Structures are given as structure tokens and as C-alpha cells.
């Protein structure tokens, strides 16, 4: 008996012909709009594809259905992170889990460079001047020659490093196991404190794990250079948010670019909204048409590899 795929209606309309060409025996159960998927159909499902079109409006509905698929054996996502409890529940059940790691990395890296360029030129202040029609010349800081530390040196970290190096920055990546063959200098996690004191700017691109949760606390911020910039495109709980706010309000940190937060959406009462040296974006640093295309390419390649009995990209565990 062949596989029964659970996916969105939009994904099947766009890619169904390609999936059938790879596996002519494939059957499909589609999430059509907001319609309810019957228990009988969920019982039939053996594999599931979470495509980019499901996020964010139908994410909960799709994942809730996946949890109720008793015969699910493989889950392929369009995303990189797996820290959500629902994803963890599937992994703990023994479901083979593969991600779309790398699909959003170029877009996220460009957002990181936007933060760094904006902070180095105090773009928030320039925009305030513009809004008040105030002609106020400001000096800028050049990124060339500055030191950038990247926490989490996977696909996103490498894309950031490539762009930062092109602008003349000195880059060091922190990762659990440094790779001597890496074209960029890498340090292991034991040198975390050293990296904080070395860098003019820190970019967090790490996943949320037991070891990264809360790693940026008051002590970590105190070890950073006075006036350093802080960027987080990893996960919000990696950062002690009150400690970050204190470091920004005291002037110890020169500014921050933040795409992820401990609570999302960021509560309206958060001081981060109004701090003059902070750029807030709504967890959208990787959202682009090109990212969606890359995610679909990874999904289709893994579907092909699975049908051919070949090792899959981006396995978890």
C-alpha cells in the first residue's frame, strides 16, 4: 500500500503533478480552506508536508490535524526551527522529521544587514528627523573594520558572514563544533564570553535549545563592549528581555535589531516599541517569495529522495 499525503490545497494545486510524477501511487488528503478534516481521512495519512502557504493563518489547524494522525511516519516542514511543543511531540512519537533549513537564510541575512546598516547610521533618528521636517546632519559609523560575532553558525550564520565580510567586517562564528574547513573563523561555545568582549556587534542566529535558552542574560550583556549592537533573528527565549531592555536603556548597548521576542506578538506595553535605539520587526525577517520557492524545492527534493530510498536533507535527530 502506498503513502497517503496530508498537505494544503494550495500546495497540492501547485505541486501535485510533480509529486505524482515522482510517486504515481501517492494519495492525498488536502486541508481545504478552513474545512474540517475527518477522523477517517486522518487515519489514512502516513506522511505530511507543511508548506509555506500554511503559515501563519492555517498553521494551528494543520498541525492540530497532524497530531491526530495515528499512522503518520514522516513530516516535512518548510521551516528550520523545531522547538515548538507540537513539533517536539511528533519527534517524540518517532515520526521522521525533516525541515526546510536554509530556505529563509538569504532573506534573514539581508534583514540582519539592514539592522546593522540602520544602527550604524542611526536610521531611527534620521526617520524621526524626517517626520518632524528637521534638517539635522548626522555622522555615520562605517561597518568596514568592525568586528561581528555570530552566535549559531549554521545556514543563516554563514549567509550573514558572507554579506558582512563583503562589507569589510571581521567575522567570527560561534558553534558547538568548529569546522577547520570552514572558510570563516569559528570558535566553540566555551569561548562565548570571549566573543562577547571581542565583538562590536553580536548577531544571534541560534536555535532554541536547553543550552541556548536564556543565554543572553544581564551578565552576558555586561560582557559586551559598551556601545555594541545586538541583533536577534534566532528565538526570543534565548534572550532575557528585561535584561536586554536594561542594557539598552542604560546606554551600555548602542542599539538592537529584533525580529523575535519572548512573547509574540510583542505586547503593546513592551518598552522595546518606544526605545529610540531599537528596530522591531514582526518575526518576518525570512518571509519572501524567494524563500517560499527555496522551501518548496527542498520539500520536492526530499519527496524524491524518500521515494528513491536516498538520505534526506535536514533530518532532525
Instruction: Match domain 105-280 to its CATH number in 3.30.70.580, 3.40.50.720, 3.40.190.10, 3.30.1950.10.
Output: 3.40.50.720
317 has pLDDT over 90 = no
Q: Note if 142 is an active site residue.
A: no
Catalytic residue among 58, 158, 175, 235: 235
The domains of the chain are located at 4-103+289-308, 105-280
Catalytic residue among 163, 191, 283, 305: 283
Q: What integer is the mean pLDDT of 140-145? A: 97
- The predicted-structure confidence for 183-201, as pLDDT tens digits, reads as follows 999 999 999 999 999 999 9
Q: What are phi and psi of 305, to 5 degrees?
A: -60, -40
Q: Note if 213 is an active site residue.
A: no
Percent of the chain predicted with pLDDT > 70:
100
What's residue 34's pLDDT? Answer: 83
Q: What is the CATH T-level fold of the domain 4-103+289-308, as seen in this structure?
A: Rossmann fold (3.40.50)
Q: Note if 163 is an active site residue.
A: no
Please check whether the two domains, 4-103+289-308 and 105-280, share a CATH topology: yes
What's residue 114's pLDDT? Answer: 98
Q: What integer is the mean pLDDT of 217-222? A: 98
What's residue 287's pLDDT? Answer: 96
Q: What integer is the mean pLDDT of 224-236? A: 98
- The predicted-structure confidence for 66-117, as pLDDT tens digits, reads as follows 999 999 999 999 999 999 999 999 999 999 999 999 999 999 999 999 999 9
297-306 own/partner pairs: CB under 8 Å, 24+ apart: 297/103, 298/78, 298/100, 298/102, 298/103, 299/15, 299/49, 299/51, 299/76, 299/78, 299/100, 300/15, 300/18, 300/19, 300/22, 302/76, 302/98, 303/19, 303/22, 303/23, 303/49, 303/76, 304/22, 306/74
Amino acid at each position: 500500500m502506498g503513502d497517503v499525503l496530508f498537505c494544503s490545497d494550495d500546495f497540492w494545486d501547485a505541486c501535485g503533478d510533480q509529486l505524482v510524477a515522482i510517486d504515481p501511487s501517492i494519495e492525498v488528503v488536502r486541508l481545504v480552506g478552513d474545512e474540517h478534516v475527518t477522523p477517517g481521512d486522518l487515519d489514512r495519512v502516513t506522511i505530511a508536508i507543511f508548506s509555506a502557504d500554511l503559515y501563519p493563518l492555517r498553521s494551528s489547524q494543520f498541525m492540530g490535524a497532524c497530531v491526530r494522525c495515528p499512522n503518520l511516519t514522516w513530516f516535512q516542514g518548510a521551516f528550520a526551527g523545531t522547538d515548538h511543543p507540537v513539533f517536539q511531540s511528533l519527534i517524540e512519537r518517532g515520526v521522521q522529521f525533516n525541515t526546510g533549513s536554509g530556505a529563509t537564510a538569504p532573506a534573514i541575512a539581508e534583514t540582519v544587514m539592514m539592522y546593522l546598516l540602520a544602527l550604524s547610521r542611526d536610521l531611527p533618528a534620521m526617520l524621526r528627523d524626517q517626520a518632524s521636517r528637521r534638517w539635522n546632519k548626522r555622522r555615520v559609523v562605517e561597518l568596514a573594520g568592525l568586528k561581528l560575532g555570530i552566535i549559531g553558525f549554521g545556514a543563516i550564520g554563514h549567509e550573514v558572514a558572507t554579506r558582512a565580510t563583503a562589507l569589510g567586517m571581521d567575522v567570527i562564528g560561534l558553534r558547538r563544533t568548529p569546522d577547520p574547513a570552514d572558510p570563516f573563523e569559528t570558535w566553540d561555545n566555551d569561548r562565548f564570553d570571549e566573543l562577547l568582549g571581542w565583538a562590536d556587534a553580536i548577531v544571534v542566529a541560534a536555535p532554541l535549545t536547553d543550552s541556548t535558552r536564556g543565554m543572553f542574560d544581564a551578565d552576558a550583556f555586561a560582557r559586551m563592549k559598551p556601545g555594541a549592537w545586538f541583533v536577534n533573528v534566532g528565538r526570543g527565549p534565548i534572550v532575557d528581555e528585561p535584561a536586554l531592555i536594561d542594557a539598552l536603556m542604560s546606554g551600555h548597548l548602542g542599539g538592537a535589531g529584533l525580529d523575535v521576542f519572548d512573547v509574540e506578538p510583542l505586547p503593546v506595553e513592551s518598552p522595546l516599541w518606544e526605545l529610540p535605539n531599537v528596530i522591531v520587526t514582526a518575526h518576518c525577517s525570512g518571509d519572501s517569495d524567494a524563500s517560499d520557492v527555496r522551501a518548496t524545492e527542498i520539500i520536492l527534493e526530499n519527496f524524491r529522495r524518500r521515494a528513491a530510498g536516498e538520505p534526506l536533507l535536514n533530518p532532525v535527530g
